Amino acid sequence: MAGPTITLAPELLELFRASRVAARALTTASSAQRDQALAAIQETVSSHSRQIIENNAEDLERGAAEGMDVSLQDRLRLTEERVQGLVDSVGVIRSLPDPVGDVIREMTLANGLQVTQVRVPFGVIGAIYEARPNVTVDIAALALKSGNAVVMRGGAAALESNKLLVSLMRDALTSVGLPADAIATVDDWGREGAQALMKGRGFIDVLIPRGSASLIETVVTESTVPVIETGSGIVHIFVDATASG
């Protein structure tokens, strides 16, 4: 079923519609096929490591020229070691049990009706985050593993890095017979793209912001799409020396 009519640039509207079609295709994809896609993502990210780092250098150079904070530059930076970390993280996700169809619980009601709670994909996940190209790969891999399409807004700071990463992952999908539109980005539309994600109810099933407290607050406040609100700041766990185990 098509989403409701909302005011969007024609290209954005087409992108959202294509994402919904791709999400439906993922519902019929087997766990093995989705894992094959993740393996293809690992392979293409690894084999294009040099190009990824070169694109990332463009983002870093632009960020430095615009006065980007040094700590933010470090979060943005991709090195050979960090690119390999991306490849490894996708491998970890690929090795996880398939969550789709997992039975959480079953019960029989007093009238004899049997009820089963089963994990199913959301459909299309939206993600808004800042200056972290590694998140682009992580989010796409997690969405794919769980049978969801994803539309991302990674911010202007990582524009060239994300553009290449998304392109590589889309090619990886098609190489195993899955639709490229299962992974998409609205970065080319800047803030208009972010607004479209927040207002795209009927096209985007759930929106996940990741970043600063102000970014999360903006998404929670302005979005008409259901939001999974993440925490902000640094979280520490302290274990006393006397703790057992």
Low pLDDT (below 70) residues in the chain: 1-6, 231-236, 245
pLDDT at 59: 97
Tokens 């969007």 sit on residue:
8
Provide the 8-state DSSP code for 149: E
Question: Could you tell me the two tokens for 40?
Answer: 């293809």
pLDDT at 239: 85
Q: Give the sheet arrangement for strand 124-129, strand by strand.
A: 183-185, 149-153, 124-129, 206-210
Tell me how far apart the alpha carbons of residues 4 and 202 are, in angstroms, rounded to a whole number: 6
Q: How many CB atoms lie within 10 A of CB 163?
A: 18
pLDDT at 242: 87
Pairing of strands 149-153, 183-185: parallel
Question: Could you tell me the two tokens for 66?
Answer: 């615009």
Tell me how far apart the alpha carbons of residues 102 and 117 are, in angstroms, rounded to a whole number: 9
Q: Domains, the chain, ranges and CATH?
A: 10-94+122-222 (3.40.605.10)
Question: H-helix or E-strand containing 242?
Answer: none
50 CB-near residues (< 8 Å, 6+ apart): none
Tell me how far apart the alpha carbons of residues 136 and 138 are, in angstroms, rounded to a whole number: 6
pLDDT at 211: 85
